Amino acid sequence: MRDVWPSTLCDIVIPHFEEVRTTGKGRFKKDEFYESPRDGYSEESYYTTSHTPIFKTDGTICAILDIVQETTQNVLNTRRLMLLNELGKRVSEIESLESVCHIMTDVLSNSIDISYALIYFVKHKLNTSLESLIARLISTTFDKNGKDGRHIPDYLPEIPETIYLAEDANKNYDTYIELKRDDETFSFLKCESWPIHLVIKEERHVKVLLKDESQAVLLPTKVSLCRGQSLSAVLICGVNRLSILNKKYLDFLQEKKRSKILADLNYQKMIFFQGISHELKTPLTLMLSPRDDVINTCPQEAPIMLYLQTIRRNSRRLLKLINVLLQFSNIETNQLEARYRETNIAEFTRELASDFKNMVKTLGLGFNIDIPHHDELTQAIGDKVYLDHDMYETIVFNLCSNAIKHTWNGSITIRLRSDYKDNKNMVVLEVSDTGIGIPETALPNIFQRFYRVESQGSRSHEGTGIGLALVKEFITRHSGDITVTSIVNHGTTFKCWFPTGCKHLSANQIHLNNVENQINHGRELYTNRQLYLEESSQWIKNNTSKAQYDIMDQGSTNNQNMNNKIILAANNNKKYQILIVDDNNNMRDYLVELLKEFDIYCACDGQDAIQVLKRLNKLPDLILSDVMMPNMTGHELLDVLRSDIKTQLIPVILLSAQAAEDSKIQGLNKGADDYLIKPFSSWELITRIRTNIKLSHFRHKILFQRYKQEETKQLLLPISNKFLSKLNLDETLFYVAKEIYYRLPCERTVIISNEQSEFKSNKIVALYESSESRTPITNPFMEFSNNGNDSQAFVKLQEDLNDNSGIDIYLDTYCDHVNKNVSELSVELRLNNNYWGWIKVHRSPNSIWLDSEKEIQLKAAEIASYTKNQILANTSHELRTPLNAIMGILSSFESATLTANQMDMINIMSSASDVVLSIINDILCVAKLEAHKITLINRTFDLLELFENIIEEFGKKAGDKNIELIINYEADLLPRYVKSDPERLRQVLYHLLSNAVKFTDKGEIMMTVSMQSGKVDENPIYSQPVKKGSLLIELYDTGIGMDPQYIQDAWKSFSQGDMSITKKQDGTGLGLSICKSLVKINGGEIDVESLLGHGSKFWFTWNFEFLSISSSLLETKVDDQISYTIRHKRILIIHPIENVRNVMLKYLKNVEKVDAFDTFDKGIKEAKNYEELHYKFAYDIVFVSLYENNEEETLKAILELRGLERNNNNLVIIFIVLPNNKGNELTKKLIAKIGGATYSLYSPITLKKLVNQLMHIEKNKS
């Protein structure tokens, strides 16, 4: 080896070989650094190495297999890309040109590829020669503590603060040195000072060789300033001594590499659009096709037809959105193939426009089609017209659909004429409307992709912002042009220019002798015509005038009227009333059908809702509103409702496809009572509606009682002073009793004096029941007796009245003078500050009285800041809204009576809907991660419960593929309760387990959890140090593995590896990207080891905090979970998979005797040996793996073990079975044959499941 390799490399490699030879263990290192000696120079290099020992039959090592892969360029690319990304992250810190320099040198100071950096500025003045200018040093990588702390290495030339270019111009820069590196020769300028003048003058980079033979490069940049001035910047970069200043190095320094990376990234995203369209179309097809089968098998009058029609409309709308995305991605990747044909454009346009005629008339608009006859138009243009029919159809449908969407009154005109532009004969298609118009500031951006004009006057708020961009692209493909003119509230005109003839088109895209003048309606299952017309048809039901609505009166409302409103709908025998506000007609229809138990009113937007509220005689019990709507959004509707005293107490539930947390918080801050994200469960919606109505009525009752209580207080408390103004006390008291009777709902009013009568009882001085039954106050016998016949409650009343002051209430007390129980409210009366008597008011027993409370005050809802991520909101709304209608209706079929075939089709559609929702959620999660909008929310949770739950979640899927799913951990060594973000940890585990199950067809999947480290935080919180820990989670599978060339790209978004393999599986390629981002946010690490065809091992670390509370209750000990009786049992485990046996042994380590074998023969042999030695049967419990292929062997072995048992039928048999249908059937079959104490335990085997099984057995025996 030393004869072939340089000695420096031998000194590094030979110890590695010796290590493998002496230990017998292989060695693997990734991206290991070597300083490789070359011909007169050294070079930085990186290698991934694998040293594997090769053994002889006698166990000695005869050779070492050494596999080496150079990864130098990968390491350099990654390192340099990270540097460029770091520069990009700090763009927001830029305040001036000088700040740019300081940021650059600060970032470059930590770079390995750039040894040092200096930046000079040269400001060019108007009409001034270069030689008269001055270069000023702005920033360096040596500025650790400002210019005063600048330490310049001795090997560098002098670095003056100011360089006079006139002096620099006189220096001689003509000595060039040629250096040969590999097969290339590089020329360097030999100089003792920085050639600033030369670089600026020649406006090119200059490579220099310094006195210590180190290299540097000077890179010029010129920036234009105002008034004809400019600024030159010269960046001086020191070259890494172990690198070659070749083209790749220069590209990196000049940031050309970054532009290429961005271009590649853009292409990858377009490819992703195509891939995601495929992923969405696949489950969508599974919705459409079974739906047609269900429709064909159902009678037209069946109630289910209404649901199926809603599914059809929303499925088609989803298909249209996907088609638009796919068209756009095809354009971006130059995969859109045009097919131009000679076309009768007059007849073609007339037929396309006529599709909208009936719809426009239904909306009450005029529809003018001004298209000349074919012969007349042909004569005017003097040539033929060639069109791609699909593109032209999309152009007409988009423009007509937009015109209808934005026009409430007037008319829409479709015009076709000839014109002359740019020395060419043109055909002009005009689409004009008298609608709401487009603001002048929006016109320059109207054809940009994803740009949307925020109009409040449209018929719908739906749209992606792609339509007009697509129209412009299609017209450009015809070598045409499109223009727009618009005036707000007067209308808009789009003009599309199409050249005549075919000279402007590519010859290979022109299809001659194929004249098509009509639309071929049968070419697809769902044509553009059907998709556009069906989407636009929902606006017919929303045909409300565009007149501005008057907002509800803000004046005060009479209290009595408010009370009447509050107690309305209190009768449980009547249906509750709900107002549904949504601009989507399908969603309204679905909600009306879903909420049949309520009386429903509908509105198509916020303004329409206000008008409906004004027309209703009774306010609704609840308002269910969408958020994104035209004319007035859900948030704006909330502002109006909460600012009016009549409507501020109506509960409002917002339904929205905006999944961002800030959108939900914004709605709740504005006063919404609840917020539901689409798609939602129909049962959850109904439950929330019922709950919010009940809570609303409860609040109304409290407010009404408070109001009546305040009224009562205002009436009763001043009475004690009122009678002092009257000379005749008897008349005054009777007047007071009468007023109370008429102002409070009661049976009678009694005024009692504290003076004792001759019978030594309290005397009644006034009583009022009604005008017909007025009782004289002079009757001495009308009194409350204090004798022994009084009830116990009345005695208590007397004591309270003598001991306390104020208001007292008794719900059920006996009254002697009416001989029955009553509900009584009693108020003290005082005369000259002395206790005088009581006013008592009676109602029927157990009637509710009110406590003293302050006057009710209502607070207006505070206005939250308006912040939205437009693109995310639009995407979420457009994809979730139709999907919600589909999933909601499918869930309602669960209780329907359907045939087996129909139910199978419904299950297929439901499963496909779940796939679409999962894809959408992954996309939104990636969008949030890229926007840095995800933060971890730490809380206390049960760590082991999380792991066991997530592994159980995949048990059925693994069982269906006959895969053993195993979880392995030492419960005694792991904390039970920790503080971290359980949802994000679960998300990482879900994606990794999902991939493992997806790409494993046989064998096993094992998740191992262990403690990696623990430390105490140096910054204590609340005077207590925080102990932190780190988990190591490893996931091993025996699946298809990964190609080593793909591993480095596995963590990138949208990456799916070898498509020939992964295309067989569902997925978007986002899972591992999400995992890496979440682990990084947590501060952990994640990586993978894999070999194609031999499985994969993913591992990651996850940081957490130990709980500060030290308690035995928070610790998990296996010994505590297994009872004393079970610990003294003898257990046999027979399972062919070693990892399963090891895990069960770990769980049962505190049991007296546990043996584990891979075959029945070994287990039976051990049982026989034990019985011969100890004269008793070896085991109490036997765990046996049961598979479809070992049924007979298992039955034979169990019967033989039972035969060895001395006490018949005491041996407990537990079958370990995969959770699938075959496993269930097999278990039932064998249990029936074997009998006795026989149980089943379904994999995956967890500690909790195992303990519960053993406790169940113990309970049954006892």
* pLDDT above 90: residue 1009: yes
Tens of pLDDT, residue by residue over 750-796, are: 777 776 555 455 677 777 776 443 333 333 333 333 333 333 433 34
Tens of pLDDT, residue by residue over 965-988, are: 999 998 888 888 899 999 899 989
Where would I find the beta strands (DSSP E) of 593-741? 599-603, 622-626, 652-656, 674-677
Neighbours of 1006 (CB within 10 A): 22
Token representation of residue 605: 């937007």
Quote the pLDDT of residue 1135: 93
* pLDDT above 90: residue 1129: no
Residue partners of 961: CB distance under 8 A and separation at least 6: 997, 1000, 1001, 1002
Q: Rounded to an integer, what distance in angstroms lies between the CA atom of residue 1221 and that of residue 960?
A: 8
- Render the burial of 1173-1189: b for 16+ CB within 10 Å, e for the rest: eeeebbbbbbbbbbbee
Q: What does the DSSP 8-state code read for residue 853?
A: -
* Burial class of residue 1201 in the structure, from the number of CB atoms within 10 Å of its CB (0-12 exposed, 13-18 middle, 19+ buried): buried
More confident call, 237 vs 908: 237
Domains of the chain: 7-70 (no CATH), 75-254 (3.30.450), 337-540 (3.30.565.10), 559-693+880-893 (3.40.50.2300), 711-843 (3.30.450.40), 935-1114 (3.30.565.10), 1118-1261 (3.40.50.2300)
Say which residue the tokens 């408010």 belong to.
562
Q: Rounded to an integer, what distance in angstroms lies between the CA atom of residue 9 and that of residue 34?
A: 8
* pLDDT above 80: residue 1214: yes
> How do beta strands 61-70 and 215-224 pair?
unpaired
Tens of pLDDT, residue by residue over 176-189, are: 888 887 777 888 88
Judged by DSSP in three states, 525 sits in: coil
**E strand or H helix at 1099, and its extent?**
strand 1096-1106
Residues 549 and 607 sit within 8 Å (Cβ to Cβ) = yes
Neighbours of 618 (CB within 10 A): 11
Reported confidence tier of residue 546, pLDDT bands at 50, 70, 90: very low
Say which residue the tokens 């803000």 belong to.
554
Token representation of residue 1181: 């419990």
Q: Rounded to an integer, what distance in angstroms lies between the CA atom of residue 1221 and that of residue 1244?
A: 16
Provide long-range contacts, Cβ within 8 A and 24+ apart, for 734-737: 734/766, 734/768, 734/777, 736/766, 736/839, 737/766, 737/767, 737/768, 737/839
Tens of pLDDT, residue by residue over 1155-1192, are: 999 999 998 888 888 888 877 788 889 999 988 888 88
* pLDDT above 90: residue 877: no
**Among 37-51, 437-451, 577-591, 901-915, the least confident range:** 901-915
Residues 684 and 540 sit within 8 Å (Cβ to Cβ) = no
Q: What are phi and psi of 719, to 5 degrees?
A: -65, -35
More confident call, 1131 vs 1174: 1131
Distances in Å between the Cα of 14 and the Cα atoms of 33, 44, 66, 1247 are 15, 20, 12, 47
Reported confidence tier of residue 718, pLDDT bands at 50, 70, 90: low
Q: Please give the full DSSP string across 1015-1030, using - where no structure is assigned.
A: EE-SS-BTTBPPEEEE
Tens of pLDDT, residue by residue over 787-841, are: 333 334 333 433 443 344 456 777 888 887 677 888 887 776 665 455 667 777 7
More confident call, 161 vs 1015: 161
- Single-letter amino acid, residue 855: E
Max avg pLDDT among 27-36, 563-572, 1019-1028: 27-36
- Say how many residues make up the chain: 1262
> How do beta strands 652-656 and 834-843 pair?
unpaired
Q: Rounded to an integer, what distance in angstroms lies between the CA atom of residue 1148 and that of residue 1132?
A: 11
What is the pLDDT averaged over residues 556-572?
A: 35
% of residues, the chain, pLDDT over 90: 15
Reported confidence tier of residue 411, pLDDT bands at 50, 70, 90: very high
Q: Rounded to an integer, what distance in angstroms lies between the CA atom of residue 599 and that of residue 576?
A: 6
Max avg pLDDT among 515-519, 1024-1028, 1082-1086, 1235-1239: 1082-1086
* pLDDT above 60: residue 352: yes
Quote the pLDDT of residue 431: 95
- Nearest Cα neighbor of 1055 from 1078, 1036, 1074 is 1074
What is the pLDDT averaged over residues 28-56?
A: 83
- Single-letter amino acid, residue 580: I
Judged by DSSP in three states, 635 sits in: helix
List the 340-342 sheet strands across, edge first. 386-388, 340-342, 510-511
Quote the pLDDT of residue 40: 67
* pLDDT above 80: residue 705: no
Residue partners of 908: CB distance under 8 A and separation at least 6: 286, 290
Q: What does the DSSP 8-state code read for residue 1113?
A: G
Reported confidence tier of residue 169, pLDDT bands at 50, 70, 90: confident
pTM above 0.75, yes or no: no
Tens of pLDDT, residue by residue over 285-294, are: 666 656 666 7
Judged by DSSP in three states, 441 sits in: helix
Judged by DSSP in three states, 1153 sits in: strand
* pLDDT above 90: residue 132: no
**CA atoms in the 13 A half-sphere facing the CB of 199:** 25
Tens of pLDDT, residue by residue over 106-119, are: 888 888 888 889 99
Residues 499 and 426 sit within 8 Å (Cβ to Cβ) = yes
More confident call, 1111 vs 1109: 1109
Reported confidence tier of residue 924, pLDDT bands at 50, 70, 90: low
Quote the pLDDT of residue 1141: 92
Q: Rounded to an integer, what distance in angstroms lies between the CA atom of residue 76 and that of residue 46?
A: 9
